[in-house]
């Protein structure tokens, strides 16, 4: 398979027609070898216009969805970034390629191992730092962040995470909406207050750690 050609087709056929215009996002996704962020048996699906299932009920997000989430963040060189539920590390790598200094959190050891290997193969050393632990608490030690990406669908954004945004900081994720298709959301901290606005409709796999514990019904 000609992965370079597949990467070009992804950008020109999936991203540009879906209003992805940020030059840093386009350059990152044109340059990074997306297949490197998947196990060998799944690499042929790297550029498909769909989520790619990963172990543990996780997934690599559809190219158009991750591109538009990254675009909401308006990544700039020198920004401090946090990626929660980083999976195999593709979203974090895109931010790193755009010049963001990234802390990525992933609780699944297998996915974290894939992320480390992919970053080593595609990025300069030290561009992205991996931290273990539950993504629901964020990473207060590195706060405040200019950009936060929650890489999957969540039922709500914990205050513990939004509180880690710097003044003027941006947060992007997908919120579940009453069992229907989710909404991509853009959050900002302005004047010390965090607010959310819907950006576009989309589907994304739920991040397990953010889901409420099942309750008993009598």
> pLDDT digits over 109-148, tens only?
999 999 999 999 999 998 999 998 889 999 999 999 999 9
What pLDDT score does 180 carry? 64
Prediction pTM value: 0.95
Q: Which residues of the chain, if any, have pLDDT below 70?
A: 178-180, 214-218
- Taking only Cα atoms into account, the Rg of the chain, rounded to an integer number of angstroms, comes to 16
Contact (CB, 8 A) for 38 and 88: yes
- Residue 194 pairs in a beta bridge with 189
188, 168, 99, 31 alpha-carbon torsion, rounded to 10°:
30
Do residues 123 and 99 make contact, with C-beta atoms less than 8 angstroms apart? no
* Class in CATH terms, 3-210: alpha beta
pLDDT of residue 215: 52
Q: Are 180 and 153 in contact (CB under 8 A)?
A: no
CB-CB contact of 104 with 92 (8 Å) = yes
Q: How far apart are the first and last CA of the chain?
A: 54
Position 212 scores a pLDDT of 81
Query: What pLDDT, on a 0 to 100 scale, did the predictor assign at position 214?
Result: 63
């Amino acid at each position: 398979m000609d992965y370079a050609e597949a990467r070009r087709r992804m950008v020109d056929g999936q991203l540009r027609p879906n209003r992805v215009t940020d030059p840093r996002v386009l350059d990152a996704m044109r340059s990074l070898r997306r297949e490197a962020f998947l196990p060998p048996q799944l690499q042929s699906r790297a550029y498909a216009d769909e989520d790619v299932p990963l172990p543990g009920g996780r997934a690599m997000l559809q190219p158009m969805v991750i591109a538009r989430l990254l675009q909401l963040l308006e990544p700039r060189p020198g920004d401090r970034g946090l990626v929660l539920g980083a999976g195999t590390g593709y979203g974090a790598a895109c931010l790193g390629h755009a010049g963001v200094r990234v802390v990525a959190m992933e609780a699944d050891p297998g996915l974290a191992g894939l992320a480390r290997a992919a970053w080593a193969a595609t990025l300069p050393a030290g561009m992205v730092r991996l931290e273990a632990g539950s993504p629901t608490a964020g990473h207060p030690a590195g706060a405040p962040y200019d950009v936060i990406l929650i890489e999957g669908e969540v039922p709500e954004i914990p205050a513990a995470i939004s509180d880690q945004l710097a003044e003027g900081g941006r947060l992007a994720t997908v919120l579940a909406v009453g069992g229907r298709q989710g909404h991509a959301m853009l959050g900002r901290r302005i004047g010390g207050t965090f607010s959310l606005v819907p950006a576009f409709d989309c589907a994304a796999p739920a991040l397990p750690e953010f889901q409420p514990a099942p309750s008993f019904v009598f």
